[in-house]
Amino acid sequence: MIPDQIKSEIERSFDNQIIDIKPQSGGDISHAAILTFENQDALFLKWNSSAPEKMFKAEAKGLKLLNEADIDLAIPDPFLVGDDFLLMEVIEQGSSDSKSTFEFGVQLAKLHKTTADQFGLDHDNFIGRLPQSNKKHSGWTDFFVSKRIETQLKMGFDSGKFSAPDAKNLSAFTKNVEQIFPQELPALLHGDLWSGNYMFTTDGKASIYDPAVYFGHREMDIAMTRLFGGFAPEFYEGYNSEYPLTDGFEGRIELCNLYPILVHANLFGGGYIRRALGILKRFS
């Protein structure tokens, strides 16, 4: 199941034989398995033989950046990364209650208090399997329009999913966005925070993984939690107890989610294209 060259590289790096491989489900892009070694250590492996160049290396950097933040979330440590695989810490899934869900919100708010001088990041990465440009900007709206919306529209145009008239509202959209987002400091974001990218551990602590990190507007993360659901009311209560959202957030959710919807349009097409164009028109 695991390509021989990946298995050999892991065994050589750890000087330890793999004696058991348990396939794991749930990944949309990569294969996954828990590996048990001869010394009984266990690690979590993701691999994809057709992964974009540096995809797993960027993910490992993102996990390290999240681990460096002063937060009490379980984030897997990366141990070994190659062109087509990432080997990391195993985190055992458990269950949650209202207290742990509330605390998840508190800890995400603390993550968002981790700030930087500019929006963006010192390296590019990926959201899903699509490239994500993080070239730094001093202002959020410039970054959001040029590095999130324009790049995805161009990608869709180049692939034939969008036509030239579809982008005609971008100039008006850009002017309106400048008036819509509240001014806030850059926040360290998970970047792809939907229900498939978090769980609770056996000790009730929240764990986040599969990041697409950058320093952005914190409403991007919170809006994405609303895109597909899966986050309980206590999560938002905990978040607002630590770092209250600015008034008017409900009216900005669709604007924030234009980016992930464009990503889905480029990945999957269909109704996501119509939904993206509807949001673009609404805010133009």
8 A C-beta contact, residue 17 and residue 6: no
Pair of tokens at residue 76: 């897997």
How far is 45 from 31, CA to CA, in rounded Å?
A: 8
Higher pLDDT, 173 or 164: 173
In the sheet with 31-37, reading across from the earlier edge strand, the strands are 18-24, 31-37, 42-47, 85-89, 78-81
Can you give the C-alpha Rg of the chain in angstroms? Answer: 20
Mean model confidence pLDDT for the chain: 94
8 A C-beta contact, residue 133 and residue 152: no
User: Of all helices (H) and strands (E), which one includes residue 125?
Assistant: strand 125-127
pLDDT for the residue 26: 66
Higher pLDDT, 168 or 259: 259
pLDDT band at 163 (very low <50, low <70, confident <90, very high): confident
Delineate the domains of the chain, giving CATH numbers in brackets: 4-89 (3.30.200.20), 98-282 (3.90.1200.10)
* pLDDT tens digits, 69-95: 999 999 999 999 999 999 999 999 999
For residue 44, what are the β-bridge partners? 34, 88
How far is 199 from 201, CA to CA, in rounded Å?
A: 7
| Residues acting as catalytic residues | 192
pLDDT for the residue 27: 65
Percent of the chain with pLDDT over 90: 88
pLDDT for the residue 165: 74
Worst-scoring range by mean pLDDT, 3-7, 62-66, 176-180, 202-206?
176-180
* pLDDT tens digits, 185-238: 999 999 999 999 999 999 999 999 999 999 999 999 999 999 999 999 999 999
Task: Print burial letters for 17-40: b (CB count within 10 Å at least 16), e (below 16).
Answer: ebeeeeeeeeeeebbbbebbbeee
* pLDDT tens digits, 103-142: 999 999 999 999 999 999 999 999 999 999 999 999 999 9
8 A C-beta contact, residue 32 and residue 43: no
Residue 13 CA, chain-centre distance (Å), reads 29
**Is the pLDDT score of 257 beyond 80?**
yes
Length of the chain: 284
pLDDT for the residue 173: 86
pLDDT for the residue 116: 98
* pLDDT tens digits, 134-147: 999 999 999 999 99
Higher pLDDT, 178 or 193: 193
Q: At what angle do helices 170-180 and 249-268 cross, to 10 degrees?
A: 140
